[in-house]
Amino acid sequence: MGYTVKEVAEMTHVTVKALHYYHKIGLLYPGEVTDAGYRLYGKKELERLQQILFYRELDFPLQQIKDLLESGQDRLSVLSDQRRLLLARKRRLEDLIHTLEETIRSTKEGEPMDTQSMFRGFDSEEEWKEALHEQSEYLKEKYNYDLEAGPIQPEELNEQAKEAVRFMNGMAEFLRSGVKFDDAKVMKHLRTHLDFLNRHGHSINEAEFAAQARFFVQDDFHRGMLEAEQTGLSYYLCMAAEAQASAAP
């Protein structure tokens, strides 16, 4: 005798709606559908569901999971592959948690953190894609802009991330210290950042950077990122960028 959809949902914490959808797309068929229309799942179906959930934990899309499960691999091979992938993710998450804990410690103690240490755990294209996933999905949904359209080069992104942290930390410190947004020190800091961007394949002038800073203020997601670092930072950056653009030849 098999398990009903409700029983499987309670056992696996997969919603009834999701199980119905898996059936609809051919990812997980019930072992039997009774004359009364009840879906029943046996051992074979539960084993397949387990494999589906392991892949879902690894963020595989449903169509890819379906293709993998229909590739002809035996169950032991599939499970072995999933174990390898989950262990790799576990190690990466441990690295990221360690980096996060060190960042919290250095922030509490007011000590600058070594920039090399700030990005441990982001050593591969896949790790960077995961790190950028939330922002990428937001930009695609709201602006139809694909942040991940081009190839991802981890070394280059790590260098750019370090520069972004250096730049934003500097701007936040100017703001906290009461330095006026158009002070010569702030303008020099901005100029150094723009020079870095242009040396690393991001052709941008003062007016374009000011437009980007205005976008950060107007967009909820990006304004929230900056304001989480320092209250008023998005507006301070925008005013500084506008001042730099006005002074540009």
pLDDT in tens, 108-132: 666 555 544 554 545 555 554 555 5
CA distance 230 to 234: 8
Which two structure tokens, joined as six digits, stand for 23? Answer: 């059936």
**Is residue 73 classed as helix, strand or coil in its secondary structure?**
coil
Q: What is the pLDDT of residue 229?
A: 77
Q: What is the pLDDT of residue 183?
A: 95
pLDDT in tens, 134-168: 555 655 666 565 544 444 454 556 677 778 878 88
Contact between 54 and 14 under an 8 Å Cβ cutoff? The reply is no
Contact between 55 and 28 under an 8 Å Cβ cutoff? The reply is no
pLDDT in tens, 190-221: 999 999 888 877 788 999 999 989 988 888 87
Name the average pLDDT for the chain. 80
Average pLDDT estimate for 9-13: 91
Task: Return the number of other C-beta atoms located less than 10 Å from residue 145's C-beta.
Answer: 11
Q: 205-209 contacts: CB < 8 A, separation 24 or more?
A: 205/248, 206/241, 206/244, 206/245, 206/247, 206/248, 207/245, 207/248, 209/241, 209/244, 209/245
